[in-house]
Chains A and B, each alone.
Chain A
Amino acid sequence: MIHSLFLINHSGDIFLEKHWKSVISRSVCDYFFEAREKAVDPENVPPVLQTPHHYLISIYRGKLFFLSVIQTEVAPLFVIEFLHRVADTIQDYFGECSEGIIKDNIVTVYELLEEMLDNGFPLATESNVLKEMIRPPTILRSVVNTLTGSSNVGDTLPTGQLSNVPWRRAGVKYTNNEAYFDVIEEIDAILDKSGTTVFAEIQGVIEACVRLTGMPDLTLSFMNPRLLDDVSFHPCVRFKRWESERVLSFIPPDGNFTLMNYHVSSQNLVAIPVYVKQSISFFETGPCGRLDITIGPKQTMGKTVENMMVTIHMPKAVLNANLTATQGTYTYDLTTKVLVWDIGKLNPQKLPNLRGSLSTQLAISGNPRYIMTLKLSQLMLVDCLKVSRLDMYGEKYKPFKGVKYLTKAGKFQVRT
């Protein structure tokens, strides 16, 4: 399956390589560099490449390329999913997945890779299992280790690997037993020039942070499970109970995890919480243009819109922007041609407005195009999934429980 893995940074240096079968020379990456060159933007590099003897499947994350070398037929998604899992694991271990962090912890990363695959086939990918085999570094532990000479490597087989609940380690102990759930809903929308909704839907995710002693068996039930149209679960969720009773019954992994992803049924019309009035024009005569954007609340159900941000990708020819914002601040990045307007809290009495002139390179040929991305948070919509209760079985203590609701803009775009 997966033969080798190369980690490549933004500027094209290979800074880690791992081979699970025989060693493959780095020169195989040249085909990749070629494609990388051709694509200009790293996002545009095709994920699957064919070379005379190998196939290269890569992902791009955190300004790093994870490039795997494949020799025989394999489901490409299998490899892609695995590579993302590697990146997730690194992030989980060290807090971020960047070149610097990986270089600093190169031995641990190498050991992790060694455990995650055997002969190219995934062996242990559950974070709980891995953490028992190779403990994540903490400051305290590294101090202790240097003093006592003890190691980061677990010496017993993680129980999870063998038990029926491979995602949970045994013998978890906490003094404060807590279970928190964040119900995060994202509005994906495309608005056209006049502000009408071209496409809108709500995607949700339940992120959990569970720190409970022992082997708790949790049941999470919803007030309005009928909203859910399509769902995907963490492997811990018992699918049968969901099918029959529409409750989530599970033995949680320890720590942070994504319990479920869902899609809210599309019959319900999605209420877009804000409207955007925008006009942008470039004068054919002179090297300048005019920009005027106003944002106002719409269907917010009395809730306030916070953390609002508008991102505008300007045409390449726009040299500079000279604007005034009635609220918030704006920045214009000259190299990436991205205008970011950080508005903050939306005040319905005084609508934020950004206007001014743009200086351009001569007269722009072609129509200007730009994209807006809005981010809103702390907003609860009417048809939001609501948790009705959380029950715990299997353990005697009383856990502390909490649910937080959050609505934000997902892939939210305004066309021009």
Chain B
Amino acid sequence: MSTSALYNDQGGAEAAVEAGQESTPTSSGTGAAFGLFSTDFKKNEDLKEMLESNKESLKLEAMKRIVGLIAKGKNSSELFPAVVKNVASKNIELKKLVYVYLVRYAEEQQDLALLSISTFQRALKDPNQFIRASALRVLSSIRVPIIVPIMMLAIKEAAADLSPYVRKTSAHAIQKLYSLDPDQKEQLIEVIEKLLKDKSTLVAGSVVMAFEEVCPDRIDLIHKNYRKLCNLLVDVEEWGQVVIISMLTRYARTQFTSPWTEGATFDENNEKTFYDSDSEEKKEQTEAKPYIMDPDHRLLLRNTKPLLQSRNTAVVMSVAQLYWHLAPKHEVNIVTKSLVRLLRSHREVQFIVLQNIATMSIQRKGMFEPFMKSFYVRSTDATHIKTLKLEILTNLANEANISTILREFQTYVKSQDKAFAAATIQAIGRCATNISEVTDTCLNGLVLLLSNRDETVVAESVVVIKKLLQTQPTQHSEIIKHMAKLFDNITVPMARASILWLMGEYCERVPKIAPDVLRKMAKTFTAEEDIVKLQIVNLAAKLYLTNSKQTKLLTQYILNLGKYDQNYDIRDRTRFIRQLIVPNEKSGALNKYARRILLAPKPAPVLESAFKDRDRFQLGTLSHSINSKATGYQELSDWPAVAPDQSVRNVEVIEPVKEWAPLVGKTKKSKSDDKFYSDDEEEKEEEGSASSGNEDSSSSSEESDSESEEESSEESEKTSTDSGKSSSGSENSSSESESEQKKKKKTKKAPQKKSKPTAADSDSDENGNGPVAQASSSSPESSSGSETDSEDDSDSDSLAAQKKKKSDAKSKPKVEVKSKKEVSLLDLDDFSPAPTNAPKSSFLSSSLLSDLEGLSLSNISSTMQVTTPSFGPVKTYELLHHMTGKGLSAKYHFPRQPCLYEPSMVAVQVILTNSSDHSLEEIHIGERSPAGLNIHCFNTIERLEPEASVTVSMGIDFSDSTQAANFQLCTKENQFSVSIQPAVGELLMPSTMTEQDFTKEQGKLLGMNETSATITMATANTSSQAISKQVLSVANVGVVSSSQNNFHRFAGRTVSSGALVLVSLELKESSSALLTINTEKSVMASMLLRDLKQALTQA
């Protein structure tokens, strides 16, 4: 107080000086006076004066003090008129403070607050986005109902603002307006709908928050934005992530079918299953029809996974709950480590995380069992943390670890924290009932605790022993006797009551002791606690029934005492018992049953976790934490039995490109790919739609699709094994033969397809190739690509697997057409989908694909698409010479297709030839180095006949380095060390983009990321075709169409990390040229530069 008085004094004096300068001596005097005798009221008076002065620094000083008052919770509302005048101040700091004041008091001074509105309206039009945003923030925070229309208008305008920051503010304003006037809901939903389409990461979190607050039930607004939100998620700020994840969890529970079906195969990357199914169990497999996850469902799971590494504990928790509620059971385990990590965080964080783990560990012991030791209690933990850890340890207890846990519990029982020691004893009791093996051990341990010096420990043990004995009363009369002996020393009422109850219940087992106990109790009856008295009455009644000879008088004495007890419960009980057990003329029929009533066998109490019913709440929520429904809690719905139409998530309409938004991919893409398709089309017509089969597999209607795949995989199996044997198995021939076969059956289909709207058609077809692969996180060879790639070999496995993959990617259709699958192939015509249906669904499925394509490159503009095709000759390298390989020779080449097994792998095809005179058996891959090398091996080849050869495909993850992959090629008898050294160009995959995108991306990769060299071109290489040919021969990149003749551009991505590699070649006069490579991978760039230089300078 003294300091503030002093402070006032100074302020006042200053004001006085100031006023003095303005030559108003009278006020100067008063100012000083106020300073000297400052009271709360007068202090404000003095502030008012300062505010009315025209010196900025004084006003600022005054405002600071006023804000200080607000912060301390003191009322300063009477200064409102003085403060509001400064709302238009030029001084930003002053203005901010005024804003703070306004927001706080506007509700109380509505009329005066209106004076400031025009200032904000003006500021809303300010060229500076910061000022616009803060004006909107304050305007919407002023809780004055009269300005609702103004706010509405401002929000609408701001929602269309060019600055994402302003749009973010408008999303916040929506919630404020809604809470001020819920009648505006409809209009606000419109704004939310608009903002949901926003592609800025800045806006996403806020608008979803608004959605959750205003219209959480309007799930239909999310459909179209679902994929976008999933893809943006990683880049959204952390708070937004939490909100979006929790919203998407709810969304997913309404839109996808349950992944928790019994014996379902979820794992898309599980090659084993489809190999098996392809070879022998094909039939079975088709009948079993496994659950296949909707690609959108998978998308959500995949995109949230990296967030487990967030530093924000709330984000980690929300991902964990998402996995818990949405992921297939076997995938949930990945969240364990992250949750355990959170236990290192603050006390409060630990509390919440432990609560959630407690709920999880009831259902899924296995998840946390390996981390059991992380839940060991430290003596420094707070009590509620200790109790939770105990709870979890108890949940985790099983036959295998119970001895460790019990040993741990023993140390806890000794804890100084009595409440915790008591809880430990409870936990021991729970372990004893849950695990029958240790029941006796626990019971003995608890009996030992009865001689503990600590009162609470003993009392708790008695209570727990009582419960345990109830579960198996037969053989424990010894323990009961022991407890009877201890009885005199125990003072805790609950424990005394428990012992008495045990005596009564099992009085026939301790016939000598029980009456004696009753005798003692009769003496002390009046001094006991109520709960003990009740049990005394009980004991007396039971003894009276079983041993009335000895206890009749005692019982009557006790009943008499009870009759005049102060507590009416006890009086009541006594009266009831007396009527029940003592036969007299009034007692009636009930008397006969007294024994059966009092000594009825009682069910043993079930000791269960306090967290048992918590799983009714969504994990991580407030409701879960407090174990009751919080206001505004949104119930998590059950999985739908049948998934709603998944096509609703497709985005058909391409939004006009907004200034700030990244370009929308599809328009551009379809242009660049058009050629492709039309080739396809022509070819199809020429060959009598030979390739229609291929097309079908990717783009025909959903229903027919899955069938065609079924077939085609069967067929391909046949054809390709054939071709494999004939040692010249080419993809082309096999796919052609396959499609020919199909043609026979599908003639009806082809025309139907042609009748589709062409726009949709072309779109779907070209997208249909790569994207499917990505959707399923594998990369089947694209069918259209293979047409041009005539040298491609493929073996039965890969082809079949690829087909299988495709069908995997299409999860839903398969489930839906269950019944139809049994129909024989020949009947196909009959149940091909209705014509009206076909175009629509095919269109949708294709746009689904195009939406999914951005997945692996989520934070890169969706304009670019990795495509498969690449021309140019394929070089074959020697892997194993037949001399060193004792007859086995191997060659390999890079088929330049996305690898089937994992997107980060480079596909390698190996041709194994047996040049010896005896057959080779069990050809497989043995040890590999470096040890961490990720290779997808081919399946063991059981037998290779002399002179036969077989082509197998492998996937190798080179991690974007040219380090050789060393492994051993083994036969039954021998092992040969071989190595595959990739050329740098093979570590790329082509990427299609427009010229604009190319230059844009190039602009981002300057400086360190740019490598260039001037080269002298060989004369033969100056034509654009020749250049393309040379470049493509070196590197697996895509050609970017160029508007300038002297410019050639190529784009690709590295296979493992997906880093962009941009090659540009600028031709200058006299055959010199500037070769530039832009990529973040500088090592690769220099190697690539060297290779390209060599290729281009060579004739």
Contact = CB atoms under 8 A, between A and B. Distances in A.
Chains A and B come from one and the same complex: yes
Interface of A: 1, 14-19, 21-23, 26, 41, 43-44, 46-48, 50, 55, 58-61, 70-78, 80-84, 106-107, 109-111, 114, 118-119, 121-123, 125, 149, 151-157, 161-162, 166, 190, 192, 198-199, 201, 203, 217, 229-235, 239-241, 243-245, 258, 261, 263, 313, 315, 365-367, 369, 371, 373, 393-394, 411, 413, 415
A367 B414 contact: yes
B172 A119 contact: yes
B310 interface: yes
Given A244-B960, A411-B378, A157 B313 contact: no
Contact of A111 (B96, B141, B206, B380): B96
A394 B1008 contact: yes
B583 interface: no
Nearest to B209: A121
Interface residues of B, number: 104
Contacts of B596: none
A75 B71 CA distance: 27
A106 B337 CA distance: 40
Given A73-B634, A157-B133, A245 B380 contact: no
Contacts of B143: 22
A42 B96 CA distance: 36
A75 B380 contact: no
Interface string B58-69: 001000100110
B482 interface: no
28 contacts: A17-B72, A22-B143, A43-B347, A58-B348, A59-B346, A72-B631, A73-B622, A73-B633, A73-B634, A75-B242, A76-B352, A76-B625, A77-B349, A78-B239, A82-B314, A110-B67, A110-B100, A111-B100, A119-B173, A121-B175, A121-B206, A122-B237, A151-B93, A156-B128, A157-B128, A229-B337, A230-B340, A233-B310
Contacts of A411: 378, 380
A201 B376 CA distance: 12
B379 A371 contact: yes
Interface of B: 56-57, 60, 64, 67-68, 70-73, 91-94, 96-97, 100, 104, 107, 128-130, 133, 137, 140-141, 143, 163-165, 169, 172-173, 175-176, 179, 202, 206, 209, 234, 237-239, 242, 246, 306, 309-314, 316-318, 337-338, 340-341, 344, 346-349, 351-353, 373-374, 376, 378-380, 382-384, 408, 411, 414-416, 453-454, 620-623, 625-626, 628, 630-634, 904, 959-960, 1007-1009, 1056-1058
A235 B140 CA distance: 31
- Among B107, B128, B130, B348, which residue has the most Cβ atoms of chain A within 10 A? B348
Contacts of A233: 309-311
A367 B418 CA distance: 12
Contact of B92 (A76, A83, A153, A415): A153
B905 to A, nearest CB: 12
A78 B314 contact: yes
* Interface residues of A, dominant DSSP: mixed
Nearest to A161: B165
B454 A366 contact: yes
A393 B1079 CA distance: 13
* Interface residues of B, dominant DSSP: helix
A7 B143 CA distance: 24
A149 B60 CA distance: 9
B238 A235 contact: yes
A202 to B, nearest CB: 11
Contact of B632 (A73, A119, A315, A365): A73
B378 A413 contact: yes
Nearest to A113: B71
- Among A59, A166, A232, which residue has the most Cβ atoms of chain B within 10 A? A232
Contacts of B237: 122, 166
Contacts of B133: 157
Nearest to B1006: A394
Contacts of A107: 64, 67-68, 71, 97
A106 B172 CA distance: 26
Contacts of A19: 104
Given A55-B622, A73-B631, 10 more contacts: A15-B72, A47-B352, A72-B630, A110-B100, A111-B67, A118-B137, A230-B337, A244-B960, A366-B454, A369-B415
A245 B348 CA distance: 35
A217 B1009 CA distance: 11
Contact of B382 (A43, A198, A230, A373): A43
B2 to A, nearest CB: 15
A70 to B, nearest CB: 7
Contacts of B625: 48, 76
A151 B351 contact: no
B238 A121 contact: no
Contacts of A80: 313-314, 346, 348-349, 352
